[in-house]
Amino acid sequence: MSTSSADQHRDVFHRWVASFNAHDAVGVAALYGQDAWVVHPAHRQPLRGRKPVQDDTRAYMVALPNVSAELNRVVVDQDCAAAQVTVRGVHAGLLVLATGTRPPTGRPLEFTVALFCRFGPEGEIVEEHRYYDVDDIRGQLGDAEHRR
């Protein structure tokens, strides 16, 4: 793998965070291939294509209107890369979790997301597996059985 490919993959994550922090769901979705698929803890079925990625990103921006992301680290190997991202915001809108939709609580949230991505020939994300601790989020939102 060339250094330029590794740098391009790292750059995608930097652009992902920059677009996310600008609340630009279209910009985030543009980093994905037209037929990309994303396995995501909040959805029972993978997201398929840019539009569902855009809609999911926008939903987070509605649920956490002051949401921000911080890129902690990126590791690249061949056509794959992993990133660790910290997400912060106040829960002020409907939040979609695999366990259901949560009404606003006004509580601050902070959680870590791991993104494992495979890139296509044009440098776009074609496959992503996203991981975060849903029980931790539920605990931060006030679910007593999930508090740590």
- Per the model's pLDDT, the better-predicted residue between 100 and 105 turns out to be 105
Does the predicted TM-score (pTM) go above 0.75? yes
* DSSP H helix total and E strand total for the chain: 4, 8
Place of tokens 């994303």: 38
3-141 — its CATH code? 3.10.450.50
* Strand ranges (E), the chain: 32-39, 47-48, 68-77, 80-90, 95-97, 100-102, 108-119, 125-131
CA–CA distances in Å: residue 2 to residues 8, 51, 76, 77, 126: 10, 31, 11, 10, 19
Output 110 or 41, whichever has higher pLDDT: 110
Lowest-pLDDT range of 26-35, 82-91, 96-105 = 96-105
According to DSSP, the residues that pair with 96 across neighbouring strands are 101
